Chains A and B, each alone.
Chain A
Amino acid sequence: MQRFYEVMFIVRPDVADEDLDKLIAGLEQTVTNGGGAVRSTEKLGRRKLAYTVRKFNDGNYILLTIDAGGPLVAELERRLRVSEPVIKFITVRMDEEDKRLAKVRAIRATRKKLSAIPVPAEPPAPAEPASTPAAAPAETATPAGA
């Protein structure tokens, strides 16, 4: 079963761009080979680190969102640990969080619809199923934007 993870890692600042891209491509390859799927790759750019890591004061932040199984994540982490340019990484499991958020939003959507209904009873039935698919794309947009 595929779980949704966010992997954020920091690459040392003195690697060239092509090397960085190669590294990311290699990691994506690992994911796809292991049966996972890469949802998105974001380069957050160079940032100043809050504390010194391996004698570096800033680093390149990269965020990778993937769908993968547990063992695949372990493999990915092993690769990150071993790869020399990566100085820090964190993997956060997001699928449960997403489920909770979706539930909250669904509840909120139904609540809004009920309050919006003036008097007739008919609009709620078509309105509610219409609202949840309409709300869903809007909701999925917000975690990406967060």
Chain B
Amino acid sequence: MGKHETIPGSMPGFVSGHDFSRAVSGAKSTGLQPLRFCRINQVHGPRSAPAGRKKEMPDETTNAPAPRSESRPDAPQGRPAGPGGRGPGGPGGPGGRKFFRRRKVCKFCTEKIDAISYRDVRLLQGFVAERGKIVPRRLTGVCTTHQRRLAKAIKQARNIALLPFAAGF
């Protein structure tokens, strides 16, 4: 238990004793901290430990212990992939796992666009990739209802040759 005290950023409020003991036993290679802390310790320069940890804190208090313990066995393999995936995932934005961390907002909700018609090609083209595929909503940030309507409109537009089915090559 002394090990976590060495890191200045660790919140006293975070620790619930039983989680931590499991953490210490579970964490393998560095043996220092549970999964989240391990990841931050592993990456030294670019992502400064305190900054990273502050991001983790609220999530760890809110997350249930069970998911963390499941991910801990992955710790040795997962860790190299972790910072690479989650680092850009955090500020970059499409986000999925964490809470709305600067998540893109649905364009239709903010601009209060009610009707998505198959006729306004310009609007629809913003949601279609260059090959003509419909862009998934995790990339565009569109909410579910509007994504469904958008997809319907795009398919109607494709049928009437306003948008291509497959473009490029």
Residues on A facing B (Cβ under 8 Å): 8, 10, 47, 49-51, 53, 59, 63, 88-90, 92, 97, 101, 104-105, 108, 142-143, 146
Which of B20-28, B99-107, B156-164 is found at the contact surface with chain A? B156-164
Specify the main secondary structure of chain A where it touches its partner: strand
* Complex Cα–Cα for A133 and B92 (A): 46
Q: Mark B134-169, 1 if CB is under 8 A from A, else 0.
A: 000000000000000000000010111111110100
Given known A-B contacts A50-B158, A90-B156, A8 and B164 have beta carbons under 8 A apart? no
> A101 — which chain B residues lie within 8 A by C-beta?
114-115
Which of B31-39, B68-76, B116-124 is found at the contact surface with chain A? B116-124
* Complex Cα–Cα for A49 and B165 (A): 12
* Complex Cα–Cα for A53 and B117 (A): 22
Q: Are B120 and A50 in contact (CB under 8 A)?
A: no
Pick the most buried of A10, A53, A92, A108: most chain B CB atoms within 10 A of its CB.
Answer: A92
Q: Are B156 and A92 in contact (CB under 8 A)?
A: yes
- Across the A-B interface, give the 8 residue pairs with the lowest CB-CB distance, nearest first: A50-B164, A49-B161, A90-B160, A50-B161, A146-B117, A101-B114, A51-B164, A50-B163
Q: Mark B85-127, 1 if CB is under 8 A from A, else 0.
A: 0000000000000000000000000001011011110000000
* Complex Cα–Cα for A10 and B164 (A): 15
* Complex Cα–Cα for A10 and B156 (A): 14
> A88 — which chain B residues lie within 8 A by C-beta?
159-161
Q: Are A146 and B160 in contact (CB under 8 A)?
A: no
Question: Could you tell me the distance in whole angstroms from the C-beta of A12 to the nearest C-beta in chain B?
Answer: 12
Question: Could you tell me the distance in whole angstroms from the C-beta of A145 to the nearest C-beta in chain B?
Answer: 10
> A104 — which chain B residues lie within 8 A by C-beta?
114
* Complex Cα–Cα for A129 and B83 (A): 58
Question: Could you tell me the distance in whole angstroms from the C-beta of B169 to the nearest C-beta in chain A?
Answer: 12
The contact of A146 among B115, B156, B161, by CB within 8 Å, is B115
* Complex Cα–Cα for A53 and B159 (A): 11
Question: Could you tell me the distance in whole angstroms from the C-beta of B130 to the nearest C-beta in chain A?
Answer: 13
Closest to A89 in B: B160
Beyond A51-B161, A92-B118, 16 additional contacts (C-beta under 8 Å) are A8-B119, A47-B162, A50-B158, A50-B162, A50-B167, A51-B164, A88-B159, A88-B160, A90-B159, A92-B156, A105-B114, A142-B115, A143-B115, A143-B117, A146-B117, A146-B119
Question: Could you tell me the distance in whole angstroms from the C-beta of A111 to the nearest C-beta in chain B?
Answer: 12
Given known A-B contacts A90-B159, A92-B156, A97 and B115 have beta carbons under 8 A apart? yes
Question: Could you tell me the distance in whole angstroms from the C-beta of A135 to the nearest C-beta in chain B?
Answer: 13
Q: What are 10 A-B contacts defined by CB distance under 8 Å?
A: A10-B160, A47-B162, A50-B158, A53-B161, A59-B161, A88-B161, A90-B156, A90-B159, A97-B115, A143-B117
Closest to A51 in B: B164
Closest to B161 in A: A49
* Complex Cα–Cα for A142 and B114 (A): 10
> A92 — which chain B residues lie within 8 A by C-beta?
118, 156
> B165 — which chain A residues lie within 8 A by C-beta?
50-51
